[in-house]
């Protein structure tokens, strides 16, 4: 089945299409993507995962057409960012 694995930094974005077995999990797809060879700080065994914007676990079985997303850590806590914007007003 065909799925995609996506990762992005502020300067570079990449989506890799893969043909994986029907039993493939989200973490297996991440590892098969080999995106860690393009993004040196990416650890495919530890990076948080999602499917179409919804956080998921390593063992999530994939369906044809799924897009596995690899997430970077947040630069700032969303609550802190909101407080800072409120203080500026």
The CATH number of the domain where 52 resides is what? 3.10.20.30
What would the two tokens of residue 28 be? 């297996």
Give me the domain span that covers residue 66.
2-88
How many structural domains does the chain have? 1
CA separation for the pair 17, 14 (Å, rounded):
10
Q: Is the dihedral of CA 32, 11, 76, 6 positive or negative?
A: negative
pLDDT at 76 over 90: no
C-beta separation of 34 from 20 below 8 A: no
pLDDT bucket at 87, cuts 50 / 70 / 90? confident
pTM value surpassing 0.85: no
């Amino acid at each position: 089945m065909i799925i995609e694995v996506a990762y992005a930094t502020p300067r570079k974005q990449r989506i890799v299409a893969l043909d994986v077995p029907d039993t493939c999990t989200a973490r297996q797809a991440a590892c098969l993507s080999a995106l860690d060879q393009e993004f040196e700080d990416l650890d495919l065994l530890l990076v948080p995962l999602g499917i179409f914007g919804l956080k998921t676990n390593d063992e999530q079985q994939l369906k044809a057409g799924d897009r596995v997303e690899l997430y970077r850590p947040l630069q700032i806590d969303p609550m802190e960012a909101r407080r800072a914007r409120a203080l500026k007003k």
